[in-house]
Structure 1
């Protein structure tokens, strides 16, 4: 894919705002989003379906969820992705694409291993394949995040996040196709088909542009021990020294900005069931207008950041999150099994807000990252928000049991208030770095 000048300088017309989505780098981001999403959906959803279909106990299947912890702790090996050169592939593709191809190869091998196993004959081979698939997928996330951050300036990161998230959605639909294939043929054919889709993604990576930013800074001098210390310590030192004391409110904002979405989402499906909505109707709303609203939200979020600025978009995201999450309290208080229109309003609103804040939030995280240490720093920031939000989400059921659905969704909507206060504090008193306005010169020349 040839390089092209990206529109969107300080004066951005609506034509430029839309045209940015039709550049080669956006198509590359769409493909990479697909490659990043498919391993997670296969290991998180389809693997458990397959194991249960084979008669494996639910308790055992639950333990397999632990392999997804790789996505939470990926920052531990992200310095390796930032610094270590893959033999042969590094010279051929460059540092970022070589790691992307290597990680995709790991997912392909993991899917092939799983396809050749029979869980009724022993779970060890399944576990080996699942671990390889999961850890390769997490490593792929690290490499793709670094490629995304280095391939576009700050003002483009929300658009890149929108294209990335759309690719994720395509991966979700493709994993659903894999489920259909397992019904038409068999599970082994399904896993092999998904492996083929990942292999095709690896081939397409060869035609993408390797970002040039940060390469010189990633080169380290000295002996092996010195390089190891610098690979691990330097990225963390760099972000702390740049943000200084503002690292505290920034990290707190990262941890709680999406807490409302995470905590309410766990109880959404139980609410549908307890109200009495037909599963087919819920699935139809989620897969039809719900999916469309998510995609629309992704791109509106990108447009808002590109057109109005990052911090304003973050504010808008909190407002619509408060409103749309509060809509679930309204649903819980007023809806019956026949009120499909209320169900549709709640799902569409929530998905629209979720898409919007996804692009704005990813853009904010990306704006804090130095291209010299993109993989390490982004993995660290994303792990902060994922771990805290997922941990607290585990208590959602207990809270819902204690206060009821109506109060539960009011409380989760109210999680946007401390996030809004933190955001206001950073907006009013924060440094340019804390606001995501630091200019990394090598990225701004893209």
Structure 2
């Protein structure tokens, strides 16, 4: 991408749409993985139970199963992409508001059901937004658009991870829940204002073609051995940091930090770290290409886990909290940019919705299923040993780069 194209990409409506839809995609996920664990821990729910609740996030890992349905059927109102966006966002606002009526100490089963429903509609929103973004952006803006999307996705975590946490320190948790739901209006208003990208008649004419052809094309294009290796790599590349951040809010609480300290010190440091990682990563990828970025960013992602090892040993210390959480999310930001670019590159434009849903589902496996056992591991070995285990679990993904993205192989970010 040349400088002129980059400047144009920074100043057009398509980039603003990527920012707003990225914010809307990230908000429900961070509600589930940052705010809900803190809410439950404040009610003295044990870590093992909180860890197991990650299992209800399974829609993020299986969304490719129903993504063909959203490709095949057109919503009568607003069109194929905008219609599905509208439905999922209305459902999310209602469900996120509903959480405010329940008490974790006595109604945990109801909360699990609602959390599972939020995960389902959040994953469904991701499917249609990913497809819309791919149809919206011309090829020369894919890098910039995905970079804006990833950054807005991360910034959305500021609402449940900082604003709502601070509110919970001064007001009932119900007020914090409702404040998060209000911010989903960003996505809903965007959906009502943007233009539809899908033209009438473009949708698959049969459900079978919507289900079968995307998978057949991917395996034929890559060859089955390389295709399987790609899917494994997508799952393992962020395994370590997914485990390390799965129960980070309870970790901070157990180190003695209050919800206000977490919402201010940790969240601000994480936001700065993720922002720096995403922006620097996006710019660097223009020169480095995807392959070398996966190597360099992956090393930062690996080393950043050691910051939490340090915090677990030092304990209650504001400076160490800021450094550890900021460095961790700097690595997370770098790794996410590289992985999103790799997944986009691996899709066929004709089957983006289902293929991207497959890739992002695979990428969510560590966050959902592997992270479900993190509470048991922590209670068995303690936080320090747990984060060392996370470091070791990040190594296989790096080793797979030898086959997936050899250092000297040319690859462009777009």
Q: Residue 312 in 1 paired to residue 301 in 2? A: no
Q: Does 2:144 correspond to 1:145?
A: no
Residue 288 in structure 1 maps to residue 268 in structure 2: yes
Asked if 1:24 is matched to 2:13, the reply is yes
Give, in whole Å, the separation in 2 of the partners of 1:336 and 1:31. Answer: 39
Cα distance in 2, alignment partners of residues 428 and 75 from structure 1: 28
- How does 1:238-387 map onto structure 2 within 5 Å? 238-245=217-224, 246-266=226-246, 278-279=257-258, 284-329=264-309, 336-337=314-315, 341-387=319-365
Shift of 1:84: 0.9
Contact 1:159–1:299 (Cα < 8 Å) also in 2 = no
Tell me which structure has the larger Cα radius of gyration.
1
Q: CA deviation at 1:171?
A: 2.9
Task: Give the secondary-structure state (helix, strand or coil) at the position aligned to 2:193.
Answer: coil
How far the C-alpha of 1:369 sits from its partner, in A, is: 1.7
- Give the structure 2 partner of residue 98 of structure 1: 83
Q: Secondary structure at the match of 1:89?
A: coil
Partner deviation per Cα, 1:141-171 (whole Å, 9 max, x = no partner): 1111112223225564443333223333443
Q: Tell me the residue number matched to 2:148.
A: 163
CA contact (8 A) 1:155 1:305 kept: no
C-alpha separation in 2, matches of 1:315 and 1:328: 22
Q: Give the conservation status (yes or no) of the 8 Å contact 1:161–1:358.
A: no
> Judging changes above 3 Å, is the alpha-carbon distance between structure 1 residues 402 and 196 closer, same or farther for their aligned structure 2 residues?
closer
Cα offset, 1:112, TM superposition: 4.9
Could you say which residue in structure 1 is the equivalent of 2:216? 237
1:198 aligned residue: 184
Q: Tell me if structure 2 keeps the 8 A contact 1:116–1:188.
A: yes
- Relative contact order (C-alpha < 8 Å, sep 6+): which is higher? 2
Q: Decide whether the 8 Å contact of 2:308 with 2:387 is kept in 1.
A: yes
Residue aligning to 1:441? none
What's the counterpart of residue 77 of structure 2? 88
Distance across 2 between alignment mates of 1:282 and 1:132? 27
TM-superposed CA distance for 1:58, in Å, is 8.8
8 Å contact kept, 2:377–2:386: yes
Worse-matched range after superposition: 48-57 or 184-193: 48-57
Native 8 Å contact 2:282 2:337 kept in 1: yes
Partner of 2:30: 41
Q: Distance in 2 between matches of 1:183 and 1:119?
A: 17
Q: Cα distance 1:87–1:292, how it changes in 2: closer, same or farther (>3 A)?
A: same
What is the CA deviation profile of residues 419-438 of structure 1, one whole-angstrom value per residue up to 9, with x for unaligned ones? 23321223349999xx688x
- More deviation, 172-181/350-359: 172-181
Counterpart contact for 2:19–2:148, Cα < 8 Å = yes
Structure 2, unmatched stretches of 5+, are: none
Q: Distance in 2 between matches of 1:60 and 1:388?
A: 18
Residue 74, structure 1, aligned to residue 63, structure 2: yes
Distance (Å, rounded) in 2 between the aligned partners of 1:406 and 1:187: 30
